[in-house]
């Protein structure tokens, strides 16, 4: 059975496939510059932009769902792609544990929020209180915990801005381990000796 992401990958991902080969085992996939001026990764989620479906699919695959918000010309977004995502440990951890959807802070694509409201990326960014880039939102593992509420109300953690690779990886582990259930990120870092 063809999953929706594979169907999308045949169309939208074909151009990226021509520009950059998929990374093999142990290799790091390089970012690709899109027509809208954003760096993107070949392993980012190809989506119909229905967040409830994306969360459900991530959960079915045993992964966490995250949204990375970026914008054209953002130097910290570029740093995230060229430094953090270029680190084999970070990229491997992300690819093994997360489905990452990239949204444009000023984009016009229509996105269906968890609560069923459909609006442009830029309006969704305002609804979620995304003020700068990169921002990464992390969502619950269990789609039932969303219960038709908007994404800002159900996010379990937020990475507001650029983090250096060690702290970036720590944030990913903080979410994957569900450490947010008993601690905040600052306390988690301190407990990890960072």
What is the tens place of the pLDDT at every residue in 68-113?
Answer: 999 999 999 999 999 999 999 999 999 999 999 999 999 999 999 9
- CA gap 138, 172 in Å, rounded: 9
Question: Across all residues in the chain, what is the average pLDDT?
Answer: 87
**15, part of any domain:** no
DSSP run (H or E) holding 120: strand 118-120
**16, part of any domain:** no
**Quick one: average pLDDT of 4-29?**
45
**14, part of any domain:** no
- pLDDT at position 153 is 84
**53, part of any domain:** yes
Please provide the distance, in angstroms rounded to a whole number, between the alpha carbons at the two ends of the chain: 45
**Other CB atoms within 10 Å distance of the CB of residue 177:** 10
**22, part of any domain:** no
pLDDT digits (tens, 9 = 90+) for 102-116: 999 999 999 999 999
Kindly indicate the confidence band of residue 3, based on its pLDDT and cuts at 50, 70 and 90: low
In this model, does residue 139 exceed pLDDT 50? yes
- pLDDT at position 8 is 42
- CA gap 36, 72 in Å, rounded: 7
* Nearest alpha carbon to residue 20 among 38, 36, 40: 40
How many residues are given for the chain? Answer: 194
**153, part of any domain:** yes
- Token pair 């953090």 is at which residue? 84
- pLDDT at position 193 is 85
In this model, does residue 2 exceed pLDDT 60? no
Domain that holds residue 182: 4-9+29-191
Q: Is 33 helix (H, G, I), strand (E, B) or coil?
A: strand
**145, part of any domain:** yes
- Count of domains observed in the chain: 1
**17, part of any domain:** no
Do the bridges between strand 118-120 and strand 110-112 make them parallel or antiparallel, or are there none, so unpaired? Answer: antiparallel
Kindly indicate the confidence band of residue 28, based on its pLDDT and cuts at 50, 70 and 90: confident
CATH number of residue 34's parent domain: 3.40.30.10
């Amino acid at each position: 059975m063809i999953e929706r992401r594979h169907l999308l990958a045949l169309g939208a991902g074909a151009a990226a496939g021509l520009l950059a080969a998929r990374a093999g085992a142990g290799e790091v996939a390089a970012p690709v510059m899109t027509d809208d001026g954003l760096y993107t990764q070949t392993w980012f989620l190809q989506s119909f932009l229905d967040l409830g479906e994306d969360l459900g699919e991530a959960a079915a695959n045993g992964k966490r769902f995250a949204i990375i918000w970026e914008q054209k010309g953002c130097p910290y977004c570029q740093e995230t792609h060229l430094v953090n995502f270029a680190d084999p440990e970070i990229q491997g951890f992300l690819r093994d544990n997360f489905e990452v959807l990239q949204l444009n802070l000023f984009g016009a694509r229509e996105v269906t929020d968890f609560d069923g409201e459909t609006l442009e990326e830029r309006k969704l960014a305002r609804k979620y209180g995304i003020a700068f880039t990169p921002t990464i939102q992390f969502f619950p593992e269990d789609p039932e915990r969303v219960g038709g509420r908007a994404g800002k109300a159900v996010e379990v953690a937020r990475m507001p801005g650029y983090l250096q690779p060690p702290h970036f990886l720590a944030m990913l582990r903080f979410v994957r381990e569900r450490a947010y259930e008993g601690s905040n990120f600052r306390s988690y870092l301190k407990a990890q000796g960072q």
